[in-house]
Amino acid sequence: MVIDGIEMEEHSGDPGDSIAELLLRIAERDQAAFAGLYDALSSRMFGLILRVLVDRAQSEEVLQEVFLEIWQSASQYSPNKGQGRTWVLTMTHRRAVDRVRSAQASVERDVRIGIRNVGVEFDGVAEDVELRWEGRRVVHALQQLPEKQKEALTLAYYGGYSQREISALTGTPIGTVKTRMRDGLSRLRSKMGVMA
């Protein structure tokens, strides 16, 4: 079978199937399969984590945690419930969001008991507030976009999907996905007062 000019083995009719096969082998403690999964998805996973956390060092830590979780819980993956790639990327996103929530909870807890007042630089607090405010502005501006543009941008930047994957997920031609993303980003910049 040929997909996008690439010869695929007949049993892997879905690109996610190869990831599913690796996960099944990892469940049996196959180290070569684990290395194969790392080679296949680590850069996409790291990009997704970095978009959520922004901090490179924390993103590297979370990536390690996700791969440890995959090694320990690959037996819980069931191919009949979804694609392997989706399972891995969902786990990755969940772990990154958990890290953000944990950091926020820690800060809030420390502030409540007054420990954070010692040794905290004003600039760090100001930067945190500014990042949260900017995040809210982005979400608000994103909600004002037409539904199809919002969907494409959300899948790309929050879901970690490529334009080709978005095309497959939505059943939309790749050119249309690219146009929606380009136009959506342009409108987003305009709504936020950012010069292109």
CATH code at position 114: 1.10.1740.10
Locate 142 and state its tokens: 């994103």
Could you tell me if 35 and 114 lie in one domain?
yes
pLDDT value at residue 185? 85
The pTM of the full predicted model, rounded to 2 decimals, is 0.50
Same domain, 57 and 18: yes
Examine the fold and report which residue of 120, 149, 181 is the final residue of a domain before the chain moves on: 120
Q: Are residues 72 and 1 in the same domain?
A: yes
Q: Where residue 17 falls among pLDDT bands split at 50, 70, 90?
A: low
Kindly report each contact of residues 96-105 with a partner whose C-beta sits within 8 Å and lies 24 or more positions away, as own/partner.
Answer: 96/48, 96/49, 96/52, 96/53, 96/59, 96/62, 97/52, 99/52, 99/53, 99/58, 99/62, 100/52, 100/53
Residues spanned by the domain of 74 = 1-120
Question: What CATH number is associated with residue 138?
Answer: 1.10.10.10
- Regarding whether 132 and 48 lie in a shared domain, the answer is no
139, 113: one domain: no
Check whether 2 has a pLDDT greater than 50: no
Average pLDDT over residues 150-162: 82
Judgement on whether residues 90 and 77 belong to the same structural domain of the protein: yes
Please tell me the predicted confidence (pLDDT) of residue 138. Answer: 74
**Among all chains, which residue has been given the structure tokens 């080709």?**
164
Listed as own residue / partner, the contacts of 133-139 with beta carbons closer than 8 Å and 24 or more positions apart are 137/192, 138/188, 138/192
Last residue of a domain, one of 86, 120, 154: 120
What does the radius of gyration of the chain's CA atoms come to, in whole angstroms? 20
Q: Are residue 97 and residue 144 in the same domain, yes or no?
A: no
Domain count of the fold of the chain: 2
**Domain-ending residue, one of 89, 120, 151:** 120
Verify that 91 and 128 share a domain, yes or no.
Answer: no
Instruction: Give the model's pLDDT for residue 126.
Output: 65
Mean pLDDT of 121-147: 72
- Could you tell me which of 194, 196, 149, 143 has the C-alpha nearest to residue 170? 149
